[in-house]
Amino acid sequence: MFRPKYPQPPASPTSYAIDHATRRDRAPACSCQQPAPPSPARRIAPSLSVGAGTVAAVVTIGIVLTALLAAVAIAAVSVALAAVVIRTLLTGQHHRHR
């Protein structure tokens, strides 16, 4: 009841037959001789080939830097929270002695 029912794929032929006898050789569409298009110019800039090791190093460094940034942010929040608590405690003591 809860299992999906997938439609069956249509049956496809397992082999293809190519009849070479019915193929007709045709004359070229244009008998004029046109020069081949010029080949693209070579790039002067060096090509950048990035290996798997380089990608792994970049990903690893990114993870480490992200972890360090998270640790600094957590430490900053902890210090700020401690400062607020200490300030609240000290302010409460000053009000009692007056």
- Each residue of 26-52: pLDDT tens digit? 665 666 777 777 777 766 666 566 788
In this prediction the pTM is 0.43
Select the highest-mean-pLDDT range: 3-12, 42-51, 81-90. Answer: 81-90
Q: How many CA atoms lie within 13 A of 71 on its CB side?
A: 6
pLDDT at 8: 84
Choose between 3 and 61: higher pLDDT. 61
- Give the C-alpha separation, 82 to 90, whole Å: 12
- Give the C-alpha separation, 80 to 83, whole Å: 5
> What confidence category does residue 22 fall into, taking pLDDT thresholds of 50, 70 and 90?
low
- Give the C-alpha separation, 90 to 98, whole Å: 13
Domain boundaries, the chain: 70-98
The 3-state DSSP class for residue 63 equals helix
